[in-house]
Structure 1
Amino acid sequence: MCIEERRNELWREESSLLTGGKPCPFRPGPQLFLSLCLSRLKFPSDLDELRELAETLKFYKQEHYGYVLLLYCSAYLYKQSFAIPGSSLLNMLAGAIFGPWEGLFLACLLTTSGSTFCFLLSRAFGKQYVVHFFPEKVALLQRKAEENRSSLFFFLLFLRFFPMTPNWFLNITCPVLNIPMPIFFSSVFIGLIPYNFICVRTGSILSEISSLDDIFSWGTLAQLLAIALVALLPGALIKRYGHAHLKVDGLDGDGRDQAGRHRKRR
């Protein structure tokens, strides 16, 4: 479907709401099409909304690539900088709109930049609030960071590969732990590559699938195999290194002290 056909289709949908289902004699121009697209823009909350938004932005990208890129980057940095959940859907949106490789580059760049902005905001304004609202989690992470101070980069990499605490919580807590900015930046960029790759590839596959036959094509199966390898291989390597060189005993899926909870039960 070309951009002109998409304009007419979107115009028919919107004008029917205004005219009670009757055809409208006017044809939509570029500016009107832009306003109709903007009226439908919102952060996706499920896969259906993701596909609809990706379809709209892909058509608009054909004529206004720069605007779509600016819109996507701004939305991503907003969510990441203020620790708003939902990065997985935005990563999938990158794959659907920009393709697997350009989408992966954007996701890695924006994830790292947004996390760094979140780190700076927390360091400037949020340290006391983080300690006040999450005292036990902060104390545990502080103790583990001190125990692994000699291999701090690999400790943070371990936490990114195996998110015992959510990524947004690590972003706002690292200033409290006195993590140097270069170590934080590099651990985010490298540690989230597998996660970003999985999300972006999934979004790219979803945008290409229109029937069950597409799911079982050789191309799709090869991409799914690549996703599985990226998900398993780095995690297995860092886990092996972690057990040999890092002190991470006591962390559970919520970032709380398992040993402390066992002592309380006794």
Structure 2
Amino acid sequence: MRSLVGLICVIVAASCYLYSLSLYLPAGPRLRPHQTADRQHVEQAESEQQPADSSEEPSRLKFPSDLDELRELAELLQFYKTEHTGYVLLLFCSAYLYKQSFAIPGSSFLNILAGAIFGPYEGLLLACVLTTVGSTMCYLLSQAFGKHYIVNLFPDKVSTLQRKVEENQDCLFFFLLFLRFFPMTPNWFLNMSAPIVNIPITFFFCSVFIGLLPYNFICVQTGVMLSEVSSLDDLFSWERLLQLLAIACMALLPGALIRHFSQRRLKLDAPSPNGLVADKKVQ
């Protein structure tokens, strides 16, 4: 009971911090004179087309759930980033770590957002670091508060993962990389169950950073392309198609190497319907 209360306190404290950070937006960046004139001209034209009683609602920060909300959020944060880079960086890191630490789905949208806001290189570095740190925080939270509950909720999955970890102790790091490149079990479950099956935190940390690098790379590059593409013609240009081909090749290469190594060294069985590896039973 004490562990549950402690976990609830951590979640409440983190939620209050993130809400207060998103609630108090700094003042918007100042516009240059020609930008101000253009903005006034656009606002005047829009006011003539809208009813007199219409009022503009203030922008609110929230986790994006689709591409439209993602594009709107990216434009808003890019607007603030011109003069409030520190605030945007702090807000993005806090939101990312919140999702990753508590195993909340939707981190792919934040990876795409990283590419749209910070660019291909800074965005990729940021996504990899935050993914690794957030997953490690999930590991530590599970180790401190959640062992008993995870075992009770997923007894079969935990026992299966425990058995496969024991069978691959001599090449445990490559086994963890294989699970990240070819997720036979969801990443959120692997993050929470890793301390239960006695995976060292150093192996866990490095395997997350390296194993999720191709996935983060694809998401960040997608965000960069979304921020640059304004029409379908731009998306299907030869330059974009060649860029997509290069991204696919770079993302598939590490997985192919790990798969080649796993066929010789790792002890893996056929995946079962529930997404985890299952033992082969002889009748």
Picking from 53, 58, 71, the partner of 1:20 is 53
Q: Is residue 184–residue 277 contact of structure 2 (8 Å, CA) maintained in 1?
A: no
* Whole-Å separation in 1 of the counterparts to 2:270 and 2:245: 33
Which residue of structure 2 aligns with residue 129 of structure 1?
Answer: 149
Q: Is residue 160–residue 278 contact of structure 2 (8 Å, CA) maintained in 1?
A: no
CA deviation profile, 1:188-223 (whole Å, cap 9, x unmatched): 000000000000001110111111221133442232
Which residue of structure 2 aligns with residue 140 of structure 1?
Answer: 160
Picking from 228, 231, 246, the partner of 1:211 is 231
Q: Is residue 163–residue 253 contact of structure 1 (8 Å, CA) maintained in 2?
A: no
The residue identity in structure 2 corresponding to 1:111 is T
Instruction: Give the secondary structure class of the aligned counterpart of 2:58.
Output: helix
The residue identity in structure 1 corresponding to 2:80 is Y
* Whole-Å separation in 2 of the counterparts to 1:152 and 1:12: 64
* Whole-Å separation in 1 of the counterparts to 2:82 and 2:150: 44
Distance 1:257 1:98, change over 3 A: closer
- Alignment of structure 1 residues 112-191 onto 2, 5 Å: 112-191=132-211
CA deviation profile, 1:202-252 (whole Å, cap 9, x unmatched): 111011111122113344223212221123211111111111100111434
The residue identity in structure 1 corresponding to 2:141 is L
Distance 1:110 1:181, change over 3 A: same
* Whole-Å separation in 2 of the counterparts to 1:207 and 1:130: 40
Q: Is residue 155–residue 246 contact of structure 1 (8 Å, CA) maintained in 2?
A: yes
TM-score, length basis structure 2: 0.80
* Whole-Å separation in 1 of the counterparts to 2:212 and 2:45: 42
Picking from 31, 48, 58, the partner of 2:78 is 58
* Whole-Å separation in 2 of the counterparts to 1:247 and 1:174: 18
Q: Is residue 251–residue 257 contact of structure 1 (8 Å, CA) maintained in 2?
A: yes
Distance 1:158 1:68, change over 3 A: same
Picking from 180, 183, 196, the partner of 2:216 is 196
CA deviation profile, 1:128-180 (whole Å, cap 9, x unmatched): 11110000100000000000001000000000000111111100000001111
Number of residue equivalences? 248
Which residue of structure 1 aligns with residue 12 of structure 2?
Answer: none
* Whole-Å separation in 1 of the counterparts to 2:43 and 2:132: 36
Q: Which runs of 5+ in 2 are unaligned?
A: 1-28
Q: Is residue 136–residue 256 contact of structure 1 (8 Å, CA) maintained in 2?
A: no
* Whole-Å separation in 1 of the counterparts to 2:63 and 2:147: 29
Q: Is residue 100–residue 201 contact of structure 1 (8 Å, CA) maintained in 2?
A: yes
Q: Which runs of 5+ in 1 are unaligned?
A: 25-34
* Whole-Å separation in 1 of the counterparts to 2:121 and 2:225: 12
The residue identity in structure 1 corresponding to 2:213 is I
Picking from 233, 240, 243, the partner of 2:260 is 240
Q: Are positions 1:227 and 2:247 aligned together?
A: yes
* Percentage identity across paired residues of the two chains: 65
Distance 1:257 1:217, change over 3 A: closer
Q: Is residue 155–residue 242 contact of structure 1 (8 Å, CA) maintained in 2?
A: yes
